[in-house]
Each structure stands twice: as C-alpha cells, then as structure tokens.
Amino acid sequence: MIKPKAPMPIKNYSDGRYLIDCDRLAAQLDAVLLIDLRPAEDFALGHIKGAKHLDLYAVSLNDTSPAPLDSLLHMFNGPFGARGVSRDQPVVIYDHESGERAARAVWLLSVLDHPDARLLDGGANAWFKSGRSLARISEVAEPTPADKAPPTPPPFRGGRRLDYLATRFDVDRAIDDETTVIIDVRRVSEYLGTEKRASRVGTIPGAVHIFW
C-alpha cells in the first residue's frame, strides 16, 4: 500500500522562492500584502492581522483550450486587484496549513507573472502555534455611504507565464513522452480507482502518485 508522506518542513525544502516561514513573515509584516484563502467563517474567527480574505476555491475550469483559459486567467485579475495585489508589493498567502488553497493562489499569481508571491509555511495553524495572535471579526462594520466609499482598486495587471501551466493537450502529449513525469497528487484511493470523486475513476496512464 502507498502511504502518504509527512509534510516537509521549509528548512528541508531546497527552493524557497515560493515559501516564507512565520519568523520571516513577522519581521516584514508591514511590507507584504497578506491574503487569507480559508473559508469566510474561519477568517472571521481568527486571521493574521491585516490579512485580506479571498476564496478562489470554487472557481475552476474544465476546458484548457486557449480561449477559455485566457478568459479564466483574465477573470482572476479583478479579485486579486480588489485585495490590493500589485506587482510592486510582495504577497504572502495562507490557509489552515501548507494547503492546496493557498498553493493554488500562489501558483495562479505566478502564472499571472507576479514577481514575488509566497505561501506561508504551516499557514494560520503554524502562526498561532508559534505564539502569535489571530485577529477576530467581532462585529459587522456599518455600511459605507456611496458618496464616501473609496474608489474601487484597479484590477491586477498581470502578464502570462503559460510555461507554468499544463493544459489537457500538454498532459495528453506527456503520456507517451519518456522525458516527462505526470504526478497524481490526489488521495491514494482516487489514484488506485477505489474511490470516485471525479467524473471517472482511475488515473492518467503512466502517472505516479505523490499525495499533495
């Protein structure tokens, strides 16, 4: 049986371009834009002070042909821009742990050519366990009158790093390419085809399993 590996600590990870630990984040908290990818109720119960909430988890695409893919990537510029994302400021993204929600957002910003987007190693759980506090939303703010509302932030003006993304056409070509490895990061049961969580069971031919 394939057993999932324990999470890899940041100190043992050779490439830190997309990671930041709690100590480094605390030292530069005022210089980065923080985005919380957890569900809204978890954000309300406790988040890193100054973080903006964003939930991209429900947005997906099942056709990576050029036109729908370009439309999807363009659509993300609005939510990121509304949270203040720009190319001029580093972005740190977190969820509960070093999870798929935050990793997906970091990857998306990389595809949109943001120069410095990182995932908080261990997420909100690690931040709290390190002895640092989480801020609660104790009451709903009064609505702002339309004539006093601040201007809407402009969309994030990202580029395109499509070399960071594999379309279904790339995956199809990779099946018979001995120089390419396809990795299935789902549950072991999904990889083996004993659990159905997609439209069909099983895995892509030749894929190897590494749990996310």
Tens digits of residue pLDDT in 29-49: 999 999 999 999 999 999 999
Q: Are residues 69 and 151 in the same domain?
A: yes
Q: Are residues 188 and 156 in the same domain?
A: no
Q: Are residues 170 and 153 in the same domain?
A: no
Question: What is the rounded CA–CA span in Å between residue 132 and residue 72?
Answer: 36
Higher pLDDT, 173 or 69: 173
Question: What is the rounded CA–CA span in Å between residue 199 and residue 197?
Answer: 7
Determine the pLDDT at residue 2: 40
Determine the pLDDT at residue 17: 86
User: How large a percentage of the chain has pLDDT more than 90?
Assistant: 66
> Bridge partners of 117?
91
Q: Are residues 87 and 177 in the same domain?
A: no
Of 82, 146, 93, whose CA–CA distance to 118 is shortest? 93
Q: How far from the centroid of its chain's Cα atoms is residue 105's Cα? A: 3
Residue 172 pLDDT > 50: yes
Residue 65 pLDDT > 90: no
Q: Are residues 119 and 197 in the same domain?
A: no
Confidence band (pLDDT; 50, 70, 90) for 54?
Answer: very high
138, 160, 182 — which closes off a domain?
160
Note the pTM of the prediction, 2 decimals.
0.83
Q: Are residues 45 and 145 in the same domain?
A: yes
For residue 118, give its domain range.
10-160
Q: Are residues 144 and 187 in the same domain?
A: no
SS3 assignment, position 140: coil
| CATH code, domain carrying 91 | 3.40.250.10
In a domain, 2, yes or no: no
Determine the pLDDT at residue 137: 85
User: How large a percentage of the chain has pLDDT more than 70?
Assistant: 91
In Å, what is the CA distance from 167 to each residue of 23, 69, 71? Answer: 37, 9, 14
Q: CB of 35 within 8 A of CB of 52?
A: yes
pLDDT in tens, 69-122: 888 888 889 999 999 999 999 999 999 998 888 999 999 999 999 999 999 999
DSSP category for residue 35: E
Mean pLDDT of 187-201: 92
Determine the pLDDT at residue 70: 87
- Mean residue pLDDT of the chain comes to 88
Q: Are residues 179 and 82 in the same domain?
A: no
**Residues of the chain by 3-state class (helix, strand, coil), percent to 5:** 35, 10, 55
Domain count, the chain: 2
